[in-house]
Amino acid sequence: MIDYRPALASDAPAIARILRVSLRTAMPWLPDLHTPDEDLWFVESRLLPRATVTVAEIDGVPVAYSALTEGWIEHLYILPQHWRAGIGSALIRRVQAHELDLQLWAFQRNFPARRFYEAHGFRSVEFTDGSANEERTPDVRYHWRADRGQFAAPPLAVREMTVADLAPALEMRITTNENAITTDRLEQQYGVTAQSLTPRLSGDLAGWLCESDSQVVGFVMADRSTGELEVLAVRPGYEGLGIGRSLHDRAVGWLESEGCERIWLAANPDPSIRASGFYAKRGWRPTGEVRGEDIILRLEANPHS
């Protein structure tokens, strides 16, 4: 049984431990700037006096907590042995139930946390180089509103990709919720890096991206030598704005103009994911072929046939 309650002053040692263990386990690459004693001083003297802190406990033992200050989620940490047990979701839903507008910061490299917040309706609105935070590590600000105002249609611009766009596009790719993938898997399983794509982009590979306030929110890449639509991805929080459709049509139109008789892609076979319906609606049909865990889809001449 998991219980949730307001934090007490006597919880400070447990909260400090959760903070340190969770942070060091989730982000071992982050500079370790404070000692355990300094963590405890921070919790006792700064966090508990000024934040609304909620503790999650199991059998009377705190295992997680959230901290809210004036519309900002400052902390949400869970002991590693209790990750993926629904505790984080319960904590964030409790905050959302009593607030109309929320913001938070996450480190750009902390992709599991970013996917978690995006899955709970937060939208990335600002990326920085980290010069303003204590760790001097690039971060991203997220925004959530109860009226879903964070998803009001933002200004969007679609343009052809350049070599300079490859790194931010791949960074965006690994933040997606469906077909989630890591940088290591992209490189080791598929051989995809910014460096590997650079010479191809000046050859048979072409790409287009969609930007909002200088942030990559979607991109597509296709290869005219094979007729493959290699990747189409939209950043979480930007679905439903026509980005995927616009990028898809540009890539397909380009492949057709290049004389590709067979236009195809490799897709996740799960019919429940958003991409499955997206491709089916646009005339992509299974060929019966497979590539690894993916199925091969081919674009039919008439998407409404």
Element (H, E) at 94: helix 87-96
Domain coverage including residue 44: 2-151
Q: Is residue 304 part of a domain?
A: no
What pLDDT was estimated at residue 303?
45
Identify whether residues 43 and 71 lie together within a single domain.
yes
Residue range 92-101, pLDDT digits in tens: 999 999 999 9
Number of compact structural domains in the chain: 2
pLDDT in tens, 52-84: 999 999 999 999 999 999 999 999 999 999 999
pLDDT of residue 153: 65
Of the residues 106, 135, 151, the one at which a domain ends: 151
**Separation of alpha carbons 47 and 140, rounded Å:** 22
Residues 72, 164: one domain?
Answer: no
Share of the chain above pLDDT 70, in %: 97
pLDDT of residue 273: 87
Give the helix/strand (H/E) hosting 115. Answer: helix 111-119
The per-residue pLDDT for range 258-288, each reduced to its tens digit, is: 999 999 999 999 998 889 999 999 999 999 9
Beta-bridge partners for 160: 208
Rounded (5°) CA angle 106-112-113: 30
Domain ends where: 108, 135, 151? Answer: 151
The dihedral formed by the CA atoms of 111, 115, 121 and 127, expressed in degrees to the nearest 10: 20
Contact criterion met (CB below 8 Å) for 263 and 254: no
Q: Is 36 left (phi over 0), alpha (psi -120 to 50) or beta?
A: alpha
| Within-domain flag for 305 | no
Distances (CA, A) of 177 to 63, 101, 165, 172, 290: 26, 23, 21, 11, 23
Q: Are residues 20 and 125 in the same domain?
A: yes
On whether both 138 and 192 belong to a single domain, the answer is no
Domain stop point among 98, 129, 151: 151
161 lies in the same domain as 295:
yes
| Pair (46, 63) in one structural domain | yes
Torsion of Cα atoms, 181 then 183 then 184 then 188, to 10°: 80
Mean pLDDT in each 10-residue stretch from start to end of the chain (305 residues)?
96 98 97 97 97 97 98 98 97 96 94 91 86 93 87 83 95 80 84 94 96 90 97 86 94 96 94 90 95 93 47
